[in-house]
Structure 1
Amino acid sequence: MNRCLAYISLLLLCWNCNPENEGHNKQKQGPQQSGENYADEEYVMVTTIVNFPMYVNHDQHAFTRWGQHRGVRTSILGPSEWDIQAQIATIEQVIGTRPTGLLINGTDPAIAGAIDRAVEAGIPTVVYDSDVPQSKRHSFLGTNWYDMGTLMGEEIVSLTGGKGKIVYLGIFGLTNMEDGYRGLMDVISDYPDIKLVGRYDDKANTEIAAKLASDILAAHPDLSAFCAFTPMSGFGCAQTVKEAGRVGEVKVTTVNYEPELLKLLEEGVIQQLVCQKRELFTWYGAQFLFDMVHDTNPLSVNDDVAGITNVPYAVNTGTFALTKENMSVFLEKPAAFLNFPDALLVYNKAYE
């Protein structure tokens, strides 16, 4: 009996030592042990408009803090403009460097092929913010934008009393934006006296949003509300309403809680901010990569052979709404921000 057990143990040892069974990353080290040094590990975030303040102050800030907390190296890469092809090229370049893990902003369905190549190269790959469900990504963390759309729709109904003309602004074609639009429309479809008089693609550009908002107000002087699905859309609409002297008369709802938007909310120019928990999906997205590499929570003796991944396939990190009544705790930076290098706390000068 003892001889049989010894033979089985030897077989298992040989299996686990076989280079062909290393799984998705050659750096996999088994369950995490306290006191281990992970300084040689590098986790890379790839986004687009890499200097965009919302990304810097929330996503990148949380990712870098996570790296400091975990004792690993982190890098943040991507083009300075909204350039999907450049983001794809960046992912392709990063694949060649064999990082420990890859955290990718799911900016557009077109990046699916690059995500697949990262996975096929054996790199743990997590997508955040907007999902790319047709890709082979190991996991996704982000907001349910349908829920964001319904929250905005419910506020629009309340603000307008269930009647009036409204307009949508955002980016066309993105999975998250389309889900948000669908949520908005599903709510207002129950209110026949609310009319959507236009849907506009402002490319997430403040100047374009402001120009569109000005033209819309001229064409529809009886407009009741702007529904803006990017922070830049919201800022452009709010500034236009403010300059037109129609604060409070034309309502504005938008997304996320950047300092400039909080100021406009406090002034009453914006009535509601529907917010993502961006720090959560980047922090835990990075942790999922670490857990994949180190088998921190294995489901079997060899998850790769079993064809399973030891992290959730998709996580909804949640949504919350801010109004003038509950915004006060967001006016000051949390302690985590105060302990972070000021160089990374960049604000959009175009907003000032």
Structure 2
Amino acid sequence: MSNEIITLSHGSGGKATNKLINNLFYKYFNNEILNQQNDSSVLPLINGRIAISTDSFVINPIFFNGGDIGKLAICGTVNDISMSGAKPLYITVGFIIEEGLEIDELEKIVKSMADTAKKANVKIVTGDTKVVERGSCDKIYINTTGIGIIEDEKYYYSGDMVQAGDCILLSGTIGDHGMCIMNNRENLGFDVDIKSDCCLLNFLIDDILSVSKNVRVLRDPTRGGVATTLNEIIEHSNISIEIEEGSIPVKKEVSAMCDILGLDPLYVANEGKLIVIVDKDDASKVLEIMRKNEVGQDAVILGKAIDDGKNKLYLKTKIGGKRIISMPDGELLVRIC
């Protein structure tokens, strides 16, 4: 294992930069488009509507139970493109690296990105590397842009498509990522093994769209959790949403940690969960196909859209009461992605 570290010379454009690019980035990201090695990459002709998304990843710590900043960057970008019903094709990556980062750590991150991109069937086609002085960033930041193609004529998935009676489906347990990062980072001393749910959702979405043409919304409830995402959907609709407390899937370790810290799992971040709003007549078959997918085995029908003219998110409690779930006032935990 090498003790070699990133130095400012790796960002100078000279021999050290060239060595880093050739021995690390080209080694793992190798494909015919990237290998054009020009200032810009020329993509094949794309026929259809183009979906594009950009994101930046500053997570702390950069390695965590269930993933790392590299895997997160690819999963997050692929998932965002997929939420529009698009097929993700290409990703660009930009690295901001702090002087002093061990090259072995950088290689683990780059390899993780390459492995995840291969699994998603996307290509990393261009990128950039900058090195900054110690203290100017926290080890490494990654910026990505994703490009996808919308092949289906019906491509518009948005809150304003939701109708009263539609069902709200959730692909699995909530709060895993946020509590994993909090437990890894804050040294709280919880003796629990919580693993981030960081994963690719594009193939799950393909499965869903193969059985239903009546999907209204596809969203991944990342920062702010399920409660924030549902409130955002409601803001763009003319309906309210009612969810069942007894249907909310939460792992016991996550629930226990949230109870101790006074947190509500509905507001805790996820990085591998999907909210689907679909016509009630298609809900059962969508739920069935979700449960057949590896990342949707714990899928549930969480609730339904209702028309009460108030545009609110309601939680129907286990004892039959009902309360309003609002947007959070602030970030529960920063730098979780």
TM-score (norm 2): 0.23
The structure with the largest helix share of the pair is 1
Greater length-normalized contact order (CA 8 Å, ≥ 6 residues apart): 2
Larger Rg: 1
TM-score (norm 1): 0.23
The structure with the largest strand share of the pair is 2
